[in-house]
Amino acid sequence: MSVAILGPTFQDLATNVNRNISSLSLIFVGRAFGYLGGSVIGGVLFDSMNHFLLLGVSMFATTVGLYLVPFCKTAVLLIVMMSTFGVSIGILDTGGNVLILALWGDKGAPHMQALHFSFALGAFLAPLLAKLALGTTVSAENRTEADFNQSAFNQSSEADSESLFGIPDDMNLLWAYAVIGTYIFVVALFFFALFLKKSSKQEKARVSAQRFRRAEYHNALLCLLFLFFFFYVGAEVTYGSYVFSFATTHAGMKEREAAGLNSIFWGTFAACRGMAIFFATCLQPGTMIVLSNIGSLTSSLFLVLFNKSPVCLWIATSVYGASMATTFPSGVSWIEQYTTIHGKAAAFFVVGAALGEMAIPAVIGILQGKYPDLPVVLYTSLGSSIATAILFPVLYKLATLPLDRQRKEHRKSEDQKALLSSSGLNDYEEENEEDDAEKWNEMDFEVIEMNDTMRNSVIETSRNILMEPTAEVPNHSYSNVLMFESSPVNTGNSSVNYLARNQDKRD
């Protein structure tokens, strides 16, 4: 709300400092540079200070800035005030992401979506609040630019003699900023209460107990994420800022229709961020990024191809706004799955988003002025969608490359173990078979040698008996000897035949 209130009250602020809009556009530059500085400062401080205390101080400074802005009577003071205001917003933006990652880690995707949904909701409510508070007293509604420039020129001498601060001529401007400032002050009190409840020692102990992960290509991932958010946020802000002028000048829409086209972009953007809170409970952040890239690439392609068709502009703008909604919070949740994000790392890619928000709309504004007949805004959307669609697969491959290498090494080691175990079993079986064969052969030879010995001894005994006189030997003894002579030989032959048959069976 505090960021979005500047747009609908810009004309009134210019009137309050007696300047025209073109000469006061530096407040956007000052706020942007303050935001960059605040993101860096917040990233450093969040690694060494209590999160709740830093967020409370940041929101309190935002409250003071919102109270003082309507009282600024000089352009320089207003620019300085907006720069200071940007510093506190940068700290708050970085701190919100860091705090959610510190509390829930890679399980905080729904909470991250809820945080960024609050951004869209505040941006939607702030213009409504400003319109209700200001009513129809805004001077820009009844005065042309030439009349305003003449009035500012006539009052320039009076402005030089005025003090730095003063009560604004339009009290509605004061109330618009005071209401938002009071709301932020109440939220700041809750952060201070959390700080008093949880001491700094408990916070440090909890953070140190958290699981720390650092990817092998941590710095490379952060640099690619820097570029990813640079193109994404730049395209988001560019389309939201220039779609009204594009619809009126290039597509031939009436101002009311062009305002509706602008509203449907931010409306679908906010609605999809709200639904993403529930989608994040069942979908992985990487899946949501892929779906967002496909939707933004398809819709921006249709916008370029059918940029003169009002029906296509309405449908494609709705899809484009819905597709752009979940990319930033999903990207923050996705990177936390592979490497731990602390304050400095979060500040780095937040700075990338802020640079994209500054640089791309500025360049497109210059190009649109030089080439008014070309849909430069749509070309920017398509180019940024292509860039993000290419960068995310590279990010995913770089993040999962060490994991794939570990899986391959683990699978290779398992295969080697399986091969070694199978080869060892085969060797064991072959050795057993060889041992069995050797044992059988040794047994065969022993039996054969035993039978030959028995055979020779029996024959020798028979010959000795036959050489003795026959008279001394009775007839029945002789027949018994003959029977004894024949039986061992037959027995030996049968044993040899039995062993031979067994050997043939084994062969």
What's the pLDDT score for residue 182?
A: 92
| Residue 422, number of CB atoms within 10 A of its CB | 10
pLDDT for 109 equals 83
CB within 8 A of 491, min separation 6: which ones? none
Task: Return the bridge partners of 72, or none.
Answer: 165
- Helical residues (DSSP H) of 141-254, grouped into ranges: 145-154, 156-161, 171-197, 200-209, 218-249
CATH architecture under which domain 217-403 falls: Up-down Bundle (1.20)
Helix (H, G, I), strand (E, B) or coil at 165: strand
Torsion of CA 313, 315, 321, 324, to 10 degrees: -100
Tens digit of pLDDT for each residue in 354-404? 888 888 888 888 888 788 888 888 999 999 999 999 999 998 988 888 766
Token pair listed for 182: 């009071």
By CB neighbour count within 10 A (0-12 exposed, 13-18 middle, 19+ buried), where does 313 fall? buried
For the four alpha carbons of 466, 468, 471 and 473, in that order, the dihedral sign comes to: negative
pTM of the prediction? 0.65
User: d(Cα 262, Cα 358) in Å, to the nearest integer?
Assistant: 20
pLDDT given at position 27 = 80
* Token pair listed for 34: 């303050």
C-alpha dihedral (355, 272, 241, 174), degrees to nearest 10: -90
Query: Which residues of the chain fall below pLDDT 50?
Result: 136-161, 200, 203, 205, 207-209, 445, 447-448, 458, 466, 468-500, 503, 505-507
- In CATH, which of 2.160.20.60, 1.20.200.10, 1.20.1250.20, 3.40.50.2300 is domain 1-136+166-197? 1.20.1250.20
Considering only CA atoms, which of 73, 97, 75, 92 is closest in space to residue 35? 92
Q: Where in the chain are the domains?
A: 1-136+166-197, 217-403
217 in Cβ contact with 82 (< 8 Å): no
Look at residue 418 in the predicted model and tell me its pLDDT: 61
- Fold: same for 1-136+166-197 and 217-403: yes
For 143, phi and psi rounded to 5 degrees? Answer: -125, 140
